[in-house]
Amino acid sequence: MEKRQELYRGKAKSVYTTDNPDYLVLHFRNDTSAFDGERIEQLARKGMVNNKFNHFIMNKLEAAGIPTQIEKLLGDDEVLVKKLDMIPVECVIRNYAAGSLVRRLGVEEGKKLEPQTFELFLKNDALHDPMVNDSLCAAFGWATEAQLARMKELTYQVNQVLSKLFDDAGMLLVDFKLEFGLFKGEIVLGDEFSPDGCRIWDKDTKKKLDKDRFRQGLGGVVEAYEEVAARLGLDLG
């Protein structure tokens, strides 16, 4: 399949059209951003690590019966995906208190949440991705009630699969965000799943192994991502 022109350039990925209107190429760049793009740095190897990490995780989810946009790994930093009509709402599951939840509610970081919490956020950097709810999504036409119900169902399925995967490797899946889109009328998991979009801690030491290392100036960002990959049995080559 032939890669053609750049369709969209995000904070860390570029999207290219192909000669097939149903498929796109995602290019994972070394760019690393925080605070809605206010801070951006280049980190060597990051594009490669996130691309292969995402491909690995999406294949695990596909094997568990969760539909994803992933098609084929094309190289170190590129992957072929289905072209989705993206829904502009992020689904967030929190298994432990961290990040914005701690800041908003003043709760203790690391508190286990039973049951896990589910939240919706509008994808809008200018508005700093505000929290929304089902009725707002329906009222403004961002997603239908049926679409939201399916997105929530799939998000909980992802949490069940991946929480066990990380737990078996000695890590806690603290929280994560997912994006979905429509492919031929079906809700499909899109975008990416990598340490850029979730929080992962060592189970015993609570060492942070995700993008909080960049946000909080802890250093060793890519090395932490590579450690997670190695623990999961992913050979980055």
Q: What is the pTM of this model?
A: 0.96
Domain end marker among 48, 82, 116: 82
Q: What is the CATH number of the domain that holds 16?
A: 3.30.200.20
On whether residue 233 sits in a domain, the answer given is: no
Same domain, yes or no: 116 and 74: no
Same domain, yes or no: 207 and 106: yes
On whether residue 170 sits in a domain, the answer given is: yes
Same domain, yes or no: 146 and 132: yes
Same domain, yes or no: 189 and 108: yes
CA distance 213 to 207: 10
Same domain, yes or no: 158 and 91: yes
On whether residue 128 sits in a domain, the answer given is: yes
Same domain, yes or no: 92 and 78: no
Same domain, yes or no: 159 and 96: yes
On whether residue 14 sits in a domain, the answer given is: yes
In this prediction, the residues of the chain whose per-residue pLDDT falls under 70 are 37
Domain end marker among 82, 101, 116: 82
Same domain, yes or no: 56 and 145: no
pLDDT at residue 108 in the model? 97
Same domain, yes or no: 92 and 117: yes
Same domain, yes or no: 213 and 97: yes
On whether residue 234 sits in a domain, the answer given is: no
Q: What is the CATH number of the domain that holds 159?
A: 3.30.470.20
Same domain, yes or no: 189 and 109: yes
pLDDT at residue 237 in the model? 85
On whether residue 225 sits in a domain, the answer given is: no
Q: Summarize pLDDT for 129-171 with one digit per residue, the tens.
A: 999 999 999 999 999 999 999 999 999 999 999 999 999 999 9
Q: Summarize pLDDT for 194-213 with one digit per residue, the tens.
A: 999 999 999 999 999 999 99
Per the structure, the complete domain to which residue 74 belongs is given by: 3-82
- Domain total for the chain? 2
Same domain, yes or no: 65 and 129: no
pLDDT at residue 37 in the model? 66
pLDDT at residue 226 in the model? 98
On whether residue 108 sits in a domain, the answer given is: yes
On whether residue 24 sits in a domain, the answer given is: yes
Domain end marker among 67, 82, 97: 82
